[in-house]
Structure 1
Amino acid sequence: MWAHKSWQGRLLAHPLPAHERLRHYAGWCNAVEGNTTFYATPPRETVASWAQQTDPDFRFVIKLPKHVTHERRLTDVDEPLRVFLDAIEPLGPRADALWIQLPGSFAPSDVPTLARFLRRLPESHRYAVEVRHPAFFDDPRSARLLEGVLSAAAAEWIPFDTTAFFRSPPTSDAERDAWIKKPRVPRRSDALTDRPIVRYLGRDDTALTVEGWQHWVDVVAGWLREGRSPTVFVHTPDNADAPVLARRFHDEVRARVPGVEPLPEPIPAGPLTLF
């Protein structure tokens, strides 16, 4: 997501041609969730334009198509997977991890299917799995089963932390929509690899969002001191200020770990003036 409507003209210049939008987003943040690939595999030429707009160290966490993860549930997917991997090849090192988001119905009994799928994947990519079935969070045996399969494949477990969001009832249309759609599971803070990935959902109230992420400031600072290289995505129900909030989170972590590199300077959204 790098062309949110509410950012245009406020955080990002507007209008912008399609081949410039990601470049302007990359002035705010150095990573992005590739969520659109869940709905359709993009043309290779489109992915090549993403690479051209970003530096080699920019991080894409690219979601596998729902045809692979939700419709076929990781079974008999060699051809759609081949097409997908070919399409994203132009990203090169920017493809930080391929994101395997599994449906809420994907249960501990399905973990052997995941294990077979991971064994068939090329070693040229890193992989990260997001699960939503409550048993993985409530049942220690199920959690250990999944951790074992992921560790064997050097894959990460992506937590989607919605605990701050569900702490109090919704107060806006965007929050009410998220209240229905977002998973409500306990928070998980363990890293399996040297490059953990966190997805955090706050509230449309900035103060509540910042209050809710203090746990992650502590965890991420600890990971950095251990030599890990985490990626954190900050969301709110309306995402109106998500890039600003992401930079604020980054600043809070840098205050704890001063050696962390600063984020780039955003490209001005409007023309520069003297007054």
Structure 2
Amino acid sequence: RPAYSQPGSDGKPLEVRKPKLPLQPVVTASFSLVRLISHPRQEINQSFMQEWASLVDNWLRLGKRVYFFVHCPIEKYSPGNARYFQQLLEERSAIVPPLPWNKIENFPTQLSLF
């Protein structure tokens, strides 16, 4: 899990209030919901996201519906991390619709919720 694997960009531990539970990447229904808590540093996310891209690609090819949610404890990194995951799926020719991100010249930043 990326969020637990390394400290944040400032060297401090990321504040993650989620329990460290065993990972069970198995689909037992016609769909799967995955919530990936990513790390702010892309190089740390890379191996985790490549593994997830492989799993998601396989599930989609088996006809499963996949809901994949990517976020980061430092929310300004969430859109870029989601975009990177989409790119990994597209590189594998996964059965996903293309998103219009590549047509956006000035990619927006994540807004604050509060």
TM-score, shorter chain, exceeding 0.5: yes
SS in 2 for 1:192: coil
TM-score scaled by length of structure 1: 0.34
Offset at residue 195 of structure 1 (A): 2.0
Secondary structure at 1:262 match in 2: coil
What letter is aligned with 1:185? L
Separation (CA, whole Å) in 2 of partners of 1:193 and 1:213 = 22
State the structure with bigger RCO (CA 8 A, min sep 6), 1 or 2: 2
Is 1:255 the counterpart of 2:96 in the alignment?
Answer: no
Name structure 2 gaps, 5 residues minimum: 109-114
Give, in whole Å, the separation in 1 of the partners of 2:12 and 2:28: 33
Out of 202-211 and 259-268, give the one that drifted further. 259-268
Q: What SS does the aligned partner of 1:230 have?
A: strand
Equivalent position to 2:30, from 194, 202, 208: 194
1:222 CA displacement: 0.3
More helix by share: 1
Identity of aligned residues (%): 25
Partner of 1:204: 40
User: Residue 175 of structure 1 contacts residue 238 of structure 1 at CA under 8 Å; is this kept in 2?
Assistant: no
Mapping of residues 139-154 of structure 1, within 5 Å: none
SS at match of 2:75: coil
In the alignment of these two chains, the number of paired residues is: 104
Change (3 A) 1:211 1:247: same
Q: TM-score, normalised by structure 2?
A: 0.75
CA distance in 1, matches of 2:21, 2:92: 28
Q: Secondary structure at the match of 2:36?
A: strand
CA distance in 2, matches of 1:183, 1:243: 24
> Deviation at 1:189?
0.4
Say which one has the larger Rg. 1
**RMSD of aligned Cα (Å):** 2.4
